[in-house]
Amino acid sequence: MLKAVYAGSFDPVTLGHLDIIERAARIADELVVAILENPNKNYLFTSEERKYHLELVTKHLSNVEIASFQGLLIDFANSIHANVAIRGLRNTLDFTSEFQMHLINRQLDTKMETIFLAADEDHLALSSTNVKEVATFGGNIDFMVPKEIREFILEKYKK
């Protein structure tokens, strides 16, 4: 059985993330989308809010579960008996950093494998950082994020 974990900050979840989740859910028997809670990082959304957003946008996927974690990904993956990590790749910069992360994870635990999924061409420029940048200045984020969460993002920037 292939149990996969797709970890990230998801602050906020983008259409690029959602595409990777949908495709990974077709490959894996079970997919756990794991939200990183890094106490040293300032997030736009709390981990509870990010969990709610991910639950909303993945409710059509019956083999997908949303969880939160702190610490190392390999420790979380072992705790839920996941044997594969999923990562999306948009470009060669992603490849460089993601390949390094894969190598570190393999040093920490030789059982840890990573499946890299190439981003869809419509999503090559999308990132959570870009969503926040555009939203800060009142730009259109419709092509960047799932429609279910647009209002939550716009609401943050009204304040």
Catalytic residues, which ones?
17, 41, 90, 128
The least distance separating ligand PNS from the CB of residue 73, rounded to whole angstroms, comes to 4
Report how far apart, in Å, the C-alpha atoms of 90 and of each of 15, 23, 124 are: 13, 15, 5
The least distance separating ligand PNS from the CB of residue 92, rounded to whole angstroms, comes to 16
The least distance separating ligand PNS from the CB of residue 119, rounded to whole angstroms, comes to 12
Q: Is 71 left (phi over 0), alpha (psi -120 to 50) or beta?
A: left
Q: Is 125 in the site for ligand PNS (CB under 6 A)?
A: no
Q: Is 104 in the site for ligand PNS (CB under 6 A)?
A: yes
Question: Rounded to the nearest 5°, which phi and psi values hold at 114?
Answer: -125, 135
d(C-alpha 153, C-alpha 131), whole Å: 9
d(C-alpha 155, C-alpha 145), whole Å: 14
The least distance separating ligand PNS from the CB of residue 105, rounded to whole angstroms, comes to 6
Task: State how far Cα 11 lies from the chain centre.
Answer: 9
Residues 52-91 that bind ligand PNS (CB under 6 A): 72-73
Q: Which residues pair with 35 in a beta bridge?
A: 8, 68
Residue from 2, 56, 89, 101 in contact with ligand PNS (CB under 6 A): 101
d(C-alpha 35, C-alpha 8), whole Å: 5
Q: By C-beta, is 27 or 108 nearer to ligand PNS? A: 108
Task: Give the CB-nearest residue to ligand PNS.
Answer: 8
Write out the residues near ligand PNS by the rule CB under 6 A: 7-9, 36, 72-73, 101, 104-105
